[in-house]
Amino acid sequence: MDKKLQIDLQKVPQHVAVIMDGNGRWAKGKGMGRIFGHKNALTAVRETIQSANEIGVKAITLYAFSTENWNRPKLEVNALINLLLTSLKKELPNFQENGVQVKAIGNTNSFPKKFQKVLSEVINATQNNSKITLTFALSYGSREEIVNTIKNISKKVVNNELKIEEIDEKVINNHLYTFNLPEVDLMIRTSGERRVSNFLLWQMAYAELYFTNVLWPDFRKSDFFDAIIEYQNRERRFGKTSEQIETSNE
C-alpha cells in the first residue's frame, strides 16, 4: 500500500527537524572519500522537502553544518561550503515553484562572504513563498544560540527595555534564532546515531525523536513517510496521563 495513504493528514507534525547524518559512512561503504558522500546528499534533501510539502508540514529545519563541524579537516569544510553554495543556487527555481520559503539559523557570519551573499539572495528571493518554511541550520549550535540569546536579553535589561521579572519562556523563545518557527514536533536522525548533537535543544523539549539506520544519501520519500507514520502512532502526553489524552480526543 502507498505509504502516503497511511498518513492522517489531520495529524501531521507542524515542524519537523532533521539531522542529516551518515554521508561519510555511505561513501566509505562504496570505497570512496567522505566528500563523495556529501555530493550525493542532494536527492535526499530534495525528497525530504517534497514529501514534507506534499503532506502539509509547515516547517522543516535541516541541520546542514554544526558549530562543531568547523573542526573537521579544512578540505572537507571547504567542500561542504562549496556544495551548499552550488546546491542553494541550483535549487532556487525548485523552491520558487513549490512555495518554499528559505531561512537560515546559526552563526552564518562565520561563512565566507561569497556564501553569505548567495544565502541572503535565496532568502530574499523566496521570502514571499508561504507553503512551507525551509530553515537551514548553518554553523548552528544550540549552545551558541542560547549564549547569543542570553546576551541579547541582557542588553535589553541593561538598557531598561526589559525588566528581569518580565523574562519568561516566551521572551526566551522570541530571542532564539527560531523565534518565528513553531515548536519542533518531530526530530528525525539518520545513520543510526542516537544523539542530538547540539541541535535545537530548547525547541525539542517535547519533540518526538525518530532514529533510522538509513544513511542520509539513501533517505527517500518512503523513509520520511515511515517517520511520520511512527510519529502518528505515538501518544504525546505532555506530562498528562493517557486517560486525560483519550478523553480530550473524544
Nearer to ligand IPE, 54 or 76 (CB): 76
Q: Is 239 exposed, middle or buried (0-12, 13-18, 19+ CB in 10 A)?
A: exposed
| Number of other CB atoms surrounding residue 98 within 10 Å | 16
Q: Which of 69, 96, 116, 173 binds ligand IPE (CB under 6 A)?
A: 69
Q: Which of residues 10-69 bind Mg ion (CB under 5 A)?
A: 21
Is residue 19 part of the contact set for ligand IPE (CB under 6 A)?
yes
Interatomic CA distance for residues 120 and 102, integer angstroms: 9
21 assigned to active site: yes
* Residue partners of 7: CB distance under 8 A and separation at least 6: 55, 225, 228, 229, 232
* Choices 13-21, 149-157, 179-187, 233-241; region in contact with ligand IPE by CB under 6 A: 13-21
Q: Is residue 65 a contact residue for ligand IPE (CB under 6 A)?
A: yes
Which of 13, 16, 17, 23 lies at the binding interface for ligand IPE (CB under 6 A)? 23
Interface region with ligand IPE, contact rule CB under 6 A, candidates 144-152, 159-167, 187-195, 221-229:
187-195
CB contact at 8 A, 210 and 188: yes
CA distance linking residue 157 with residue 108, whole number of Å: 26
What is the maximum span of the chain, computed from C-alpha positions, in angstroms?
Answer: 60
Rounded distance, CA 87 to CA 78, Å?
Answer: 14
- Binding partner selected for residue 66 from Mg ion, ligand IPE, none, CB under the kind-specific 5 to 8 Å limit: ligand IPE
Report the partner that residue 17 touches, choosing among ligand IPE, Mg ion, none (CB closer than 5 to 8 A by kind): none
CB of 98 to ligand IPE, least distance (A): 23
Residue 240's binding partner among ligand IPE, Mg ion, none (Cβ under 5 to 8 angstroms by kind) is none
The count of residues in the chain is 250
Contact present, 69 and 77 (Cβ < 8 Å): yes
Give the type of residue at 18: V
The one-letter amino acid at 242? S
In the complex with ligand IPE, the residue whose CB is nearer, 108 or 153, is: 108
Identified binder of ligand IPE from the candidate list 7, 12, 17, 20, rule CB under 6 A: 20
Q: Where are the alpha helices (DSSP H) in 40-189?
A: 42-55, 74-97, 113-125, 142-158, 169-175
What part of residues 214-243 is at the interface with ligand IPE (CB under 6 A)?
Answer: 216
Residue found under cell 566509505: 28
In the bound state, the residue with its beta carbon closest to Mg ion is 21
Choices 60-68, 155-163, 165-173, 236-244; region in contact with ligand IPE by CB under 6 A: 60-68
Residues noted as catalytic: 21, 69
Give me the residues that bind ligand IPE (CB under 6 A), please. 19-25, 63-66, 68-69, 80, 191, 193, 195, 197, 216
Give me the residues that bind Mg ion (CB under 5 A), please. 21
